[in-house]
Structures are given as C-alpha cells and as structure tokens.
Amino acid sequence: MKTKSTAFAALLFGAASVGVTSFVHVGLAVAQEKHTVTKELAKPLKAAQEAIAAKKFPEAVARLKEADASPKKTPWDQHVINELGAYAYSRTGNSAEAEKANEALITDSFTSQAQIPARIKAVATAAFDLKNYDKALDYGNRAIKGGFADDDIKVVVGQSYYYKGDFKNTAKFLQPLIDADIKAGKTPKDLELQLVMSSCGKLEDNECSTKALERLVTYYPKPDYWKDLLYTLRQDHTLTQSDRNKLQLFRLMSEVDVLQRADDYTEMAQIALDQGSPGEAQHILEKGFQKGVFTDQRNKDKNQRLLDAAKKAAVADQAQLPKMDKDADAAPTGDKDVGLGLAYLGYERYDKAAELLSKGLAKGGVKSEAEARLLLGIAQLKAGHKEEATKSLHQVKGDPALERLANLWSLHAKQGPQA
C-alpha cells in the first residue's frame, strides 16, 4: 500500500508551509508566519520547491539533502526540509525517509494541529510499507482513537495484526468493521473478509471461518469462495451426519460447479441410487466422466460399473413411473408424492417434480417436511421459477443443516449464473 500524502497544494501552501515562490529573495518571510529560513538555505530550498512543482522529485530530494547537510540550519529550516521531504520522498517511493520526515513533523512544534492527523496516517502507512507492523499499529491505532482514521488506515491496522501473526486481534479488530458495514447496508471489503477467514483458519475456529466464507460467497460469489465454503461444510459432521443431508450438500456443490473430487462424484451417485434417484446418479457420473475426474483406470472401471448400474436402474424405474404416480395419488399422505417428485427431479423433469412435491406437502404427513420443501425449492429453481423457489426455500424449517443449505440455495438463486 503506497503512502497517501495530502494534496501538494496543502503541503506547500498551508499556514506552516513554504510556498513554491516563497524564496524570491533571501530572508523573505513565509506567508502567514513570522519564521524565515536561514540565508544559506534559501537557494537549495527554493530549488527543491521548484523541482517539486515540476514533478522532478529526485532532483528535489537532492536539493533537500543539500539543505539538510547545512550546519547553519535552524529548527524552522528543519521543519521546512521535513515538510517538503515528506512529499518528495513519498513520490519517489522512499517510505523510510517519508516516515522519518512525517514523524519529525508530528513533534517539532511547528506543524499545526490541523495537519497532525495527516502526518500520523502517513507514518502508519509508511511503517506498513516497511513491514514495521508494530509502528504501523501504534500510529494506526492513534488515528482510530483520534477519530480521524479512514478506511485505508483501518485496513493497515487489520493487515498489520495479521502479518505480525496476531490472528486473534486481526479477527477481533476487523469483525466489528464488517458487521458495521453490513448493518449500514454497505458491502464489506473483500480483503477484510479474507483476513478474517484466514485468521479464523489459523486459530482453527471452524465456525468463524465458515461464517467469513459465507459472507464472501454472499458479497463476492466467486467460484473459489463457493468451493472453499462447500468443501468446508463437507467436513462438518453436524451437516453430513445423514446420507440424505450429505446428498443435499452434494447437489448444491454440483449446482455451483465446485464438485471436483472423484470420490465425491462416486459417493453422490451411490447415495442417490440408495435414496431412489437413479436418474440423478446417472447424470452425476456422466458429468464426472465428461469433466475427466476419474483419472486412473481402476477408478474409471469402478465408476463405469456404477454408471451401468444407474442406467439399468433408471430404465426400470422410469417404466414404473405411471404406476407409482397412481399409487402416490391414492395414498392418504404425501410421502409417495415426495418420493416420486425426487425421482422426476433426478430425470431433470423439474416442473413435474415441483408439481408432485407441492402435492405431497399439501397432503401432509411427510417424514421430513424440511427436506421436501428444500427439494421443492430446487425443482422450482431448476424449472426457472425463481420467485416461487425462493419462497419455498425460505420455508425450510426444523432441520438446522437443511435450513443452512436452503439459505445457500437462496443465495445462489439470487446471484444467478455468475455464481
């Protein structure tokens, strides 16, 4: 992060500053000040000012060094040298000298109180550039306590905590800033969310990491963030303790196209077969072969056998659909309608699946209303009925794991194809 200086005009023409044309002759008083520069320093300082005005910053630095070396310089001369130097050094990328000049200006008694905040922020930023994170934190927190820290300084503080390995304080400092942005209807900063996510990971705080990832997916729906989030949830045993819930997670992973591991394709297909969705098993294995996830021959042979079994089961299952439809229609509860709706979902007949799932929920008596409503939302979304899908997904209640997945499906529905 580059040091941010105040405007050139403010630096050179402020009440405690020297104007570009101030040294017309030796001993000319600085505007609005009683101070004058020493006779011997007037020429190099005027030359430095002219070089700055012409954006010849290396030349300005050379003339300032000439003035700084004078044994006759006064405290006021030093103030002028530092003020011009702070700007010139920052423009040449010399953070060390810019930091030194700004730090001197803060304590030299000549700098006006109105200019002190800008100097403190400049020191914080220069210290960060120099990887002096303790000093960056010292001056950055001074700016925060003084009430004049801008967003850049807050990022400097957060990054300084992180780079010095203080992950606890990184999260502790940045989390309230993120929460405040969200509360105010603003988009939290990508970098801040990443720093919190990484810090929580370093602290092995899975709940905190997942929350940060969910927010990254919410505000920055990049494929990598979706992948990180869903594979993190893949390790959450409270979410995947049942095959039904695990299959729901796999469905979302496939939908946002982050399902990557060969074993996950195999497991998803096997669970889908076991749960009575052979069409889904067939489609996911075909997708895996198309993406080339099965690399070694043994894995290819294993999954080809599973695919053959899924195709065979799908043919037999589809032949029974008319009879299953009649049986479901005659059933007093909605379980058979829901089961049939799942089958049609696997065959990618989404409108029919949504019809049957809605019918089953209307009858009542289904074993898992939360699962049925989640399936209904998925079917409606896949059929292109986004508003209806969002409504159904918001009605998923009673199972915390499925509620969480429903919220992520809702988020995906809102974001559309870019996710």
Q: What sections of 256-293 are H helices per DSSP?
A: 262-274, 278-291
Residue 196, Cβ neighbours under 10 Å: how many? 29
Q: How far apart are CA 366 and CA 396, in angstroms?
A: 14
What pLDDT score was predicted for residue 25?
Answer: 30
Beta strands in 130-239 (DSSP E): none
Question: Which residue's entry shows tokens 């954006």?
Answer: 55
DSSP state letter for 416: G
109: Cβ–Cβ under 8 A, 6 or more apart, which residues?
none
321: Cβ–Cβ under 8 A, 6 or more apart, which residues?
340, 343, 344
Q: How far is CA 30 from the centre of its chain?
A: 49
Inform me whether the pLDDT recorded for 21 exceeds 50.
no
341: Cβ–Cβ under 8 A, 6 or more apart, which residues?
352, 353, 354, 355, 356, 357, 359, 360, 372, 375, 376, 379
How confident is the model over 149-166, as a mean pLDDT?
96
In three-state secondary structure terms, 151 is helix
pLDDT band at 34 (very low <50, low <70, confident <90, very high): low
What pLDDT score was predicted for residue 240?
Answer: 80
Inform me whether the pLDDT recorded for 29 exceeds 60.
no
Q: How many angstroms separate the most distant Cα atoms in the chain? A: 106
How confident is the model over 363-385, as a mean pLDDT?
95
Question: Which of the pair, 27 or 199, is modelled with greater confidence?
Answer: 199
Q: How far apart are CA 104 and CA 79, in angstroms?
A: 8
| Phi/psi at 155 (5° precision) | -65, -40
Q: How far apart are CA 247 and CA 284, in angstroms?
A: 12
242: Cβ–Cβ under 8 A, 6 or more apart, which residues?
none
Task: Give the least confident one: 34-48, 265-279, 351-365.
Answer: 34-48
Domains of the chain: 8-130 (no CATH), 238-418 (1.25.40)
User: Where does residue 277 fall: left (phi above 0), alpha (psi -120 to 50 degrees), or beta otherwise?
Assistant: beta
pLDDT tens digits, one per residue of 116-128 = 999 999 999 999 9
DSSP state letter for 33: -
How confident is the model over 151-164, as a mean pLDDT?
96
| Phi/psi at 247 (5° precision) | -65, -35
Residues making up the chain, counted from first to last: 419
pLDDT band at 30 (very low <50, low <70, confident <90, very high): very low
Question: Which of the pair, 417 or 37, is modelled with greater confidence?
Answer: 37
Nearest alpha carbon to residue 26 among 13, 16, 36, 12: 36
Contact 347, 279 (CB under 8 A): yes
Q: How many CA atoms lie within 13 A of 86 on its CB side?
A: 33
Q: Average per-residue pLDDT in the chain?
A: 89
Inform me whether the pLDDT recorded for 135 exceeds 70.
yes
pLDDT tens digits, one per residue of 89-102 = 999 999 999 999 99
How confident is the model over 60-85, as a mean pLDDT?
94
Q: How far apart are CA 342 and CA 384, in angstroms?
A: 17
What pLDDT score was predicted for residue 206?
Answer: 86
Q: How far apart are CA 415 and CA 63, in angstroms?
A: 57
What pLDDT score was predicted for residue 417?
Answer: 56
How confident is the model over 64-71, as a mean pLDDT?
94
What pLDDT score was predicted for residue 7?
Answer: 29
pLDDT tens digits, one per residue of 192-241 = 999 999 999 999 998 899 899 999 999 999 999 999 999 988 888 877 88
How would you class 319 by CB atoms within 10 Å of its CB: exposed for 0-12, middle for 13-18, buried for 19 or more? exposed
What pLDDT score was predicted for residue 148?
Answer: 95
